Amino acid sequence: MELMIQVLVSGLLIGGVYALISVGLNLIFGVVRIINFAHGEVLMLAMYATFWLNKVYGMDPYLSALLVLPALFFFGVLLQRVVVQPIQEASANMQIFATVALSLILQNIALIFWKGDFRTIQTSYAMSTLEVMNIFVSVPRLVAFLVALASILLLYNFLKHTFVGKALRAIVEDNTVARLMGIRVERLYLLAFGLGAAFTALGGILLIPFSAVYPTVGVPFTLIAFIVVVLGGLGSMSGTFLGGLFIGVVETFGGTYVSPALKEAIYFGIFILVLLVRPQGLFGKGKGTEEIGLK
């Protein structure tokens, strides 16, 4: 029983980070309607940036967010402008090719500059744990979960209550009508991509105190983020959050009780199942997802 609770807690904690990364993808996917296969590579770049700031300048990984987040925000804007915008109207297959190529380029640039080694950083708090009623909680993981939760709430309120946020939601809802209402869709695409990249980058920063970075570290996260977005439904922040937690829990339970090597296989299985049973997502608005599928 205790083990079970322990596993559940670990799953929820890592699930928070998955949710954060998926919120980034959901924003990009929902607003810009691009199938971004290079999503995990943004995470990878953020992890490397944080790693090097720590290695070279001894900067604390959490503090380095002040530099890394704006940098990756602009990187996202740049990607939207240079890579995505020219293929915005192309067929879904062409978009997949272009973003797969982008991920290949970014992974291998990382390999060229930083080699294939697994790199980790040492912090004073990496190994520290809290104990609550015989359940051990790793401090950096707890921090990751809380920061992820806080930033998702922040984004939720931004989308809900600000003018720009409402415009973004309008685009998710119906791109053409949003444009007819005078929303500058192209500009908001840039913003959405930038914000999506920044949220993903934050996920990377939160991961680095307890996980290694290497050129292909982002690959599983791209798939996880897509799984979570499909689970949670396009445009649904709460759905994405719950989806992220769900995948985190499934992964840790599978890893503990079935086999560590198969934990990913389990959530891929769930992904295929969800796509089949409810392609509009478990909590989603439905409409948007199907439109993308139709395109």
Give the separation between CA 31 and CA 242, rounded to whole angstroms: 20
Which residue stretch of 3-11, 64-72, 89-97, 177-185 sits at the interface with other proteins (rule: CB under 8 A)?
Answer: 89-97
Position 243, amino acid? G
First to last CA, the chain: 48
Q: Write the binding mask 108 to 147 for other proteins: x where contact by CB under 8 A, - elsewhere.
A: xx-xx---x-------------------------------
Q: Which of 10, 26, 80, 107 lies at the binding interface for other proteins (CB under 8 A)? A: 107
Establish how many alpha carbons lie within 13 A of residue 119's alpha carbon, considering only the half-sphere containing its beta carbon. 20
Q: How far apart are CA 271 and CA 288, in angstroms?
A: 18
182 binds other proteins (CB under 8 A): no
Report if residue 89 touches other proteins, rule: CB under 8 A: no
Q: Considering the rule CB under 8 A, would residue 223 count as an interface residue with other proteins? A: yes
* Contact in structure between 208 and 55 (CB atoms under 8 Å): no
236: which DSSP letter?
-
- Kindly list the distances between the CA atom of residue 35 and the CA atoms of 28, 88, 116, 227, in Å, as whole numbers in the listed order: 9, 10, 27, 13
The minimum distance between CB 115 and other proteins, in angstroms, equals 8
Q: What are phi and psi of 119, to 5 degrees?
A: -115, 135
Please give the residues from 6 up to 65 whose contact with other proteins meets the rule CB under 8 A: 35
Beta strands in 48-126 (DSSP E): none
Q: Does 5 bind other proteins (CB under 8 A)?
A: no
With binding defined as CB under 8 A, does residue 104 bind other proteins?
yes
List residues binding other proteins (CB under 8 A): 35, 83, 86-87, 90-98, 100-102, 104-105, 107-109, 111-112, 116, 215, 223, 226-227, 230, 259, 261-262, 264-265, 268-269, 271-272, 275-276, 279, 292-295
